[in-house]
Amino acid sequence: MFTLTHIRHVAVLAMQHGKANALDTEFCLALAAKFDELKSADARAVVVTGQGRIFSAGVDLLRATTSGADYFKHFLPALAKLYMSAFFLSKPLVAAVNGHAVAGGCILACCADRRLMARGEGRIGVTELLVGVPFPPLAFEIMRFATAPRYFPEIIYTGATFPPEEALARGLIDEIVAPEQLVELAIAAAEKLGALRPEAFALTKQQMRQPVADALDRHGKRVDAATAAVWLAPETAASMRDYVSRTFKKS
């Protein structure tokens, strides 16, 4: 599902789950466990990246549309666990966005402290409303935290995916780099953050992300229940199938 290598003091986590690193229950749990493991590892910082032209295509809609509503009862908690482990990782996390980062893949990238994207044809954005599903509460708060406030409604409501230059303006990424330098520069960015005193960095990061934790404490359970009700509704499977059909025709 992924490989883990160490470059000096940086752990490089390269996702390798099928052709698109699509998020399914098992993949989410495996990634979450690895992020949790890295909390106490010797690495001072972490880089997460994908493979080929895709960082992650988001939720595995093909599996979701054939597995029935019961699948989401296990998938949604696994997805939340992944985002919780990545977003609140106490060490520096840098996303090396090598290509398309769509929906849940975009949210995973936005968990990072810094996001570098390869120049080229890759696109990044959240398509949840086009699919017909609401954002789980943590996913929504991550997007609110990561993106430029003036562009937040556009990013959420339109379901658009953006090329690197437009993504940079909207706060979805922090830097555009040459594809052949992506991982190298991501490691350098991770090393720079990792050189800071770990205790000071961890507390500062916690303070920066505390509003997300507070929002979850206030509204998380209520929104989570409402979100799950929509994801499990029979109409949702039909909406997903329609989206898959339309999207695959374009590709």
Q: Which two tokens stand for residue 142?
A: 């991550």
d(CA 104, CA 159): 12
Residue 121 is a catalytic residue: no
The DSSP code for 94 is E
d(CA 240, CA 182): 33
Q: Which of 26, 128, 141, 191 is flagged as catalytic?
A: 128
Rg (CA), the chain: 17
- Looking at residue 2, its amino acid is F
Give 164's contacts (C-beta < 8 A, 6+ positions apart): 117, 118, 119, 120, 122, 124, 173, 176
CA distances from 186 to 97, 175, 209, 226, 248 (A): 9, 10, 22, 37, 32
Give 111's contacts (C-beta < 8 A, 6+ positions apart): 83, 86, 87, 89, 93, 95, 142
Helix (H) or strand (E) holding 176: strand 175-177
Catalytically annotated residues: 128
